[in-house]
Every structure is written in C-alpha cells, then in structure tokens.
Amino acid sequence: RKKMGLLLLLIICQCAINSIKTHSVSKPSIILLMADDLGIGDLGCYGNRTLRTPNIDKLAEEGVTLTQHIAASPLCTPSRAAFLTGRYPIRSGMAAFSRVGVFLFSASSGGLPSEEITFSKLLKQKGYATALIGKWHLGMNCESSNDFCHHPLSHGFDYFYGLPVTNFRDCKPGQGSVFLKGVQKGLVIPIQITGIALVSLAVVQYIGLLKVPFQALGYFLLIITISLVVLIFFFYHFRQLNCFLMRDHQIIQQPLSYENLTQRLTKEAMQFIERNTGTPFLLVLSYLHVHTALYASENFKGKSKHGLYGDAVEEMDWSVGQVLDVLEKHNLSDKSLVYFTSDQGAHVEEISSAGEVHGGYNGIYKGGKSTNWEGGIRVPGLLRWPGVVQAGAYIDEPTSNMDIFPTIVQLADAQLPSDRIIDGHDLLPLLQGKVTQSKHEFLFHYCNAYLNAVRWHPGNSQSVWKVFFFTPNFSPEDSNGCYDSHVCFCHGGFITRHDPPLLFDLSRDPEEKVPLTPETESRFHEILRVVHQAVDNHTRSLRAVPNQLSWGNLLWKPWLQLCCSSLFQSCYCDYESGGSPLQVHLG
C-alpha cells in the first residue's frame, strides 16, 4: 500500500509538473525588441569586433541565432506592417506604387487598416497585457485629428508611449533635412513652368494676341502664393508638426526632445513589465536607434570606436540589458520569449553634413536599406527562452520577420485567422530542433509594391536560389548604394530590368557578386521555370485592397494635424520636462 501510495503521489506530482510546463510553454510573456536601420554586421554575435554589444550577444549565447533572417521589406513602414500581421505588406495595402514607400507626416490619412489582424489584437483577446513603446510609423488618423483609426491602441495595444511617425534628421536641429534636397528638386521645374507661363501671358497680353482677364490672372497668382506660403510654413514648422512624443492618445512633448530619450523609453518598458509580473504580457520595444537623426545620452556619447553611430548602438545594447535585468529580477526569464531584430538593414547612404558615417554595417552583404540585396533585408534574428529554445544554436534556414506572428499567436493559445492568408510560419519547431528545415520554400521580396526578387530553398537541396527581376541603379555606379538620391527607388529610370532575370546561389555566393548563367549553372532554365510558377501562384493569391501609401494618403492634411497647443503657438508643449514630470519619472 505504501508503495502504491508513493507511486500515486509521484504520478500526481509529475502530472502537476507537466501541467505547469505546458502552461508556461503555452502562454509565456513576449518581449519583442526591434532596432531601426541596424546592420547585421553591427553586433558582436554576428561578427563585429569593435562595437560593444554584450547584452544583445547574451541573447545569442542563451538562445538561437538566425543567420538568414529576412525582413519582409527593406523599408520601415511596410516591414513593420508585415511584422505585426504576418503578411506581405502588399496584402494590406501597405506597399507603395509611387516613389515614396513610407509615411512622412503625422497628418497623413493612410495607415495600417483596421481590418488587419495584428498579433497584439489576438494576444489581448487571450488576456495578455499589451504595450508598444517607441516608434510606430503605421499611421495615426483617417478623417479627423482625433479618430485615431490607425493608432497603436486601435490595433490591440493597451498602452503606447512613443513616436507616431519616425525619427527624422529634421527632428533634431543641426542634423540637416531629408526633405530639403527633394523639395528643391521637385520645385525647380514647377517654378520654372509657372515663371515661363506668367512671362508668356504678359507678352501676349502686351502685343495684343490674347486678352487675359486680370481677374483670372489674379486668382492664378493668389493660388500660387497660398500654395507657396503653406509649403514654406509646413517645412519651417516640420519639427513641431511631425516630431512629438505621445502617451496613449495624448501628446506629452512637442517637439520631441532627445535628452535622455533612450532612458525614458527603457524606463517605460521596465515599468510596464513590473506592472504585469503576475500576468502574461506582450511588450514591443521599438527603438529609435539607429535611424538618423543619431543621438546618444551623455553616458554613451563619445565612448564607442565608431562615432555617434557606435555610441547609439552601444546605448541601445545597454537598454536591452536593462530589460533583461528586470526580467531576471522578477524571475520572469524562464517564462518569457525574447526576440531581437531590426526592421531592415543598415542605411549605408547616411553620411552627416560633416562627412561622418551615420549608417551601419551590413557585414559581407551587398546594398542596404531600400534594396532587396541581402544587405537591405538580412537582419539580426535572436530568440531566447531558457529551457524551451536551444541555447547557443545557429540556424541558417530562411526565416522571416513575418514568422513572429504565427509563433507568438500559437504560444498564446490563440487561433490563427482563417479568413486570410498568413505568410509567416511558426518558428518553434525549428527553434527547438524538432525540425531542421524552414517551411519557407519561397520568399517574395518586394520593392514597394513591385515584386523585385524571389528566394527559393528546395527541400532536397542546400542551395538557396535568389532571382532578381530588376535591380536598383547605384549612384555613383561603382558604389554600394544610391548616394545621389539618399535611398534607392523601385521603378522607371532608377532601376535596370533583367531578362533573363539575375540568378544567384546564396549558399555559395552570399555576397551576390557573380550572377549565374546557363553556362555556369546547368539547371539555370529549370530554376527560373520553378520560380516563375511560384510567382504565378503567389500573384493569384493577392486581392485588390486600398492603397494606404497613395499620394492621397501620404500627403499632409492640415485637418488631421495633432497639436497639443495651437498652430499659432507652434504646437508647443512639454509635460515630460520643465515642470518636473521627467525628473520624477527618471528618479
């Protein structure tokens, strides 16, 4: 009887332990850390030997390093839309047919559609506390300045503290402008046409060939004058109108101050974790680092070997360490999945007006942000979950930032949507070593809304084929980017089309140096045939949706402008400093 009782007790204990394990594995807390424009070669765990990133490297040591982790787009807005929804941005209308592929203004009407299902919505339905801290860049309002149809709180987040758009050079005085050159180029021809038209009208009026009503001429001049005044006003006040900090729906600092900004974001993240130690939570900490304008606090400024860019990377690493420390402090490390990545590759064309390199390092990979060369889309991918995910493992299979959606949705015991295509795949079997091959046989690489390249990893081969239908024209021609235009574009005279397409085998040529030919690759035509068939199948799966990045949705609309005071007061307010909320907040 004693033996039977002991055996029964052991069985009960084992069942309890299994139940606890099942519960913890099924509903862990989720911490998603996303850098902005970070190069894969900027981290120690990916081979960098001069920048100090011990906390991010610790994630690699204690978890899995994905060495072929691919961003769904080489630009911020579409990449982040894909990350949140697990779907190619073309499916949600978050891919542009025009030259501009991201939101530039806080008062644009485009954004992540309310019909899209984000992982934050699904986790919130499962009882998770959810927060987004840092950069959003997926729209704000639709029809009025307070409908917040695209706001993080409308997409499943309980709490938001951060920037609604992004970190522009224009946001930091003395750092130059990303718009000035483009505006100057764009205005030259219209001004010339207007001038020629006015002179011509004056001449034909003078010689009597045509009678132009002075009233019509007056209206024309009035329209031109008003347009120029609005344009000048907007760009003169760009910083106040677009660079501001919000808490939930309230602006708390306009314009944004960079003083102790990373510390403030980090403190918010730590406090959110501490408020939710007893419940599963989802924290997306979306860093402003290392998008320009670069910045670093006094504790980090001038401390790295790579100027202000290196200082910013090392400050971000410090922040990651603070988040990991608070998890450890509250015994949450073993109950939490931590993911670190970048939204796309480093922006190699970023050079300051003083000539200092402000862009990152993409290692051996070609190109950078805005291109689908490997340097633009191959990003860090680190996942740690002690006791569940392999420690110190490297996985060289193609994976995508879209894979996070199905991975964490299934961990939260939520159901994947059945009414739409989800392009991501659950990573957990790969991370646990239960399978050795990624479910991504094909990955489709879009440049804005244009299918640029396709990656094919056959199940029976080590090869990873990559086919380019067009490539950007680098400027200068022998450089590694589009320095003359600051970013590369996706159509017209900015690209070169290839027929037949360019073919690379990334398993042998990860630097994409030498395109294969029928003479150097016997299966050349067979590979192209399979890829074209995959493209046909993929294209048939697409549905027409409203274009969120059309010119109508991109342009600044004064009635959508968020302003914490009034336009006559230059939209100024600061509830973070001055009256000491910031001092109290930072302790």
Active-site residue list: 76, 137
Assess contact for 447 and 91: CB atoms under 8 A: no
Quick one: the chain helix, strand, coil %, rounded to 5? 35, 15, 45
Asked if 283 and 147 touch (Cβ cutoff 8 Å), the reply is no
- Cα 351 versus chain centre, distance: 21
What is the per-residue burial (b if ≥16 Cβ within 10 Å, else e) of 96-129? beeebbbbbbbbbbbbbbeebbbbbbbbbeeebb
DSSP string computed for 301-333 = TT-SSSHHHHHHHHHHHHHHHHHHHHHHHTT-G
Quote the CA–CA distance of 118 and 125 in Å, as a whole number: 11
Query: Pairing state of beta strands 442-447 and 159-163?
Result: unpaired
Is residue 499 within 8 A of residue 470, CB to CB? The reply is no
Q: Give the Cα separation of 209 and 44 in Å (integer).
A: 74
Determine the 3-state secondary structure of 491 from DSSP.
coil
Which position has the token pair 């450890």? 328
- What gap in Å lies between CA 402 and CA 112, rounded to an integer? 15
Count how many residues are written for the chain: 587
- Give residue 219's Cα distance to chain centre: 44
